[in-house]
Amino acid sequence: MKKIVVLNPIGRSIVKSFDLAARLKDFRGKKIGFIDNMKPNAGPFLARVGELLRAKFNDIEMITVRKTITTNMPIAAELEGKVDAVVNAWGD
């Protein structure tokens, strides 16, 4: 069980305990999800990561979802139950 503290803009903190997902031991035959957050260069970054993964694990399946309205739009749920791992182009 791990503990995380989440801070929000109004100064309240929330402490949650949760189990971390197990790390994949191998990518062979796995479905990998890519989340494009529509920031500059997110698409090319994810394409390059996909190329590197495909070069090493040629039997992976890649599924990409892209935010369309705002970078704050939650879309991770679109991959839930469909992929084994996710690569998220996130940040500024």
What ranges do the domains of the chain cover? Answer: 23-89
Total-model pTM? 0.71
Strands (E), the chain: 2-7, 13-18, 31-36, 61-66, 85-89
Is residue 65's pLDDT more than 80? yes
pLDDT of residue 46: 93
pLDDT of residue 9: 66
Q: How confident is the model at residue 1 (pLDDT cuts 50, 70, 90)?
A: low
| Each residue's pLDDT tens digit, 23-52 | 888 899 999 999 998 888 888 999 999 999
User: Residue 54 burial by CB count (10 A; 0-12/13-18/19+): exposed, middle or buried?
Assistant: middle
Copy the structure tokens of residue 38. 């529509």
Owner of token pair 């997110």: 42
Query: Do the Cβ atoms of 78 and 35 come closer than 8 Å?
Result: no
Owner of token pair 């062979």: 28
